[in-house]
Amino acid sequence: MTREVIYGPDDSDRYNRDEPDRSLDRRRTTTEEDLLLRPKRMSEMVGQREVYERVLIAIDAAKKRGEPLGHILFDGPPGLGKTTFATCIPRELGTTLQIANGATLKAPKDIVPYLTNAEEGSVLFIDEIHRMQKAVEEFIYPAMEDFRIDLTLGEGANARTMNMPLKQFTLIGATTRTGLISAPLRDRFQMREHLDFYTPEELSVIVLMNAEKLQMPIDDVAAMEIALRSRGTPRLANNRLRWVRDFADARADGKITPKVALRAMDMQGIDSLGLDPFDRKFLETICRVFSGGPVGVEAVAHTMNIAPDTLIDEVEPFLLRSELLIRTPRGRKVTEKGLEHLGFNPADFDFPQTLF
């Protein structure tokens, strides 16, 4: 099994490879642009101030004491900066980073190379840690607590267990669902940090900052329009910005004015709240097929022919946050605000009507 990424603070090749290559003057690929837009240092990160301050304090303390940073678990909807924190933290510590994904950790042997390769004080980031198999989870408990693992060598009657010491490392876990993390695993993280949606002002700062990185002329009001339609996430703010850039290049001599930004987003079906056609389809399915709810998310997922996890992790959080949808003990229900946003008349649904 190969490790996905390993790099260190002196690995200048990797650090600099996201700089635009002007000599070739070619259009960067989406992946290259993703790297260009991702903050490299914590000082470039916008928003999440409370989490940011706590993480900085922990880093400072670890550096002063010359000890490894305690394990940190980040949770929150996709695109809010879990990976960004995980990649910036080792840079602040001046150490190396390994990246693994919980979905590929099916047996203890899958995680062994990461653990044995971890340098003193380095960071091991496990994304989607809730997808790690139970056997792997139990295997890493002693690694997290005492920096040792029990390796089984040989098979059957000849099998013996060897206790192997590890270098002291920091585990950073990221999950979209803390609910799926077992209490024993959760408790082994010294810090547990929840990332919440960004305010439009914070997203507007990100849009302006990234427009500069992409060398795009943009109007402040246009940046705010993009921020307002980004469902509270920097990832979508970046995606929307790039789409608006393409639209401006193709249809409006490259300049991003508020009008151009709105036309571009309209063309992708992104509405005034930032919902895309898929978000609306989810709400509309509940309204049309299930009379507005309450309905179990699995039933909606089956009707839409999509995995329930996608709805729960990626679609629902922002709809809940925007009060377009609520979770009741009997399932999901579209709110009055949600019905109105979709153009339905709440009176046609089972809403308690005022008598007077």
Kindly list the catalytic residues: 82-83, 127, 176, 235
Query: Binding to ligand ADP by residue 45, rule CB under 6 A?
Result: yes
Judged by beta carbon, residue 45 or residue 304, the one nearer ligand ADP is 45
Binding residue count for ligand ADP, defined by CB under 6 A: 20
Site string for ligand ADP, 178-217 (x = CB under 6 A): ----------------------------x-----------
Residue 104, judged by CB atoms within 10 A of its CB (0-12, 13-18, 19+), counts as: middle
Determine which residue in the list 8, 78, 294, 308 makes contact with ligand ADP, applying CB under 6 A: 78
Q: How far apart are CA 118 and CA 305, in angstroms?
A: 41
**For ligand ADP, which stretch binds (CB under 6 A), given 39-47, 145-153, 239-247, 337-345?**
39-47
Give the residue, chosen from 82, 131, 245, 341, that forms a contact with ligand ADP under the rule CB under 6 A: 82
**Is the CB of 129 or the CB of 256 nearer to ligand ADP?**
129
- Report phi then psi at 107, rounded to 5: -145, 155
Task: Tell me the window of 82-90, 91-99, 118-126, 247-255 that interacts with ligand ADP (CB under 6 A).
Answer: 82-90
Verify binding: residue 81, ligand ADP, rule CB under 6 A. Answer: yes
The binder of ligand ADP chosen from 68, 79, 274, 317 (CB under 6 A): 79
Q: What is the DSSP string of 99-155?
A: EEEGGG--SHHHHHHHHHHPPTT-EEEEETGGGS-HHHHHHHHHHHHHSEEEEEES-
CB 70 within 8 A of CB 62: yes
Closest separation between CB of residue 173 and ligand ADP, Å?
A: 11
The distance of Cα 271 from the centroid of its chain, to the nearest Å, equals 22
Kindly state the tokens that stand for 25. 């003057």
Closer of 200 and 234 to ligand ADP (Cβ): 234
Closest residue by Cα to residue 171 from 122, 134, 131: 122
Dihedrals phi, psi of 22, to nearest 5 degrees: -70, -25
Residue 89 contacts ligand ADP per CB under 6 A: no
- Please select the residue that binds ligand ADP; options are 58, 69, 72, 80, rule is CB under 6 A: 80
CB of 45 to ligand ADP, least distance (A): 4
Give the bridge partners for 194, in sequence order.
75
CB of 174 to ligand ADP, least distance (A): 6
User: From the CA atom positions of the chain, what is the Rg in Å?
Assistant: 23
**Residue 39 binds ligand ADP (CB under 6 A):** yes
CB 99 within 8 A of CB 199: no
Select from 64, 65, 63, 87 the least CA-distant residue to 74: 87
Footprint of ligand ADP (CB under 6 A): 34, 37-39, 45-48, 78-84, 174, 206, 234-235, 238
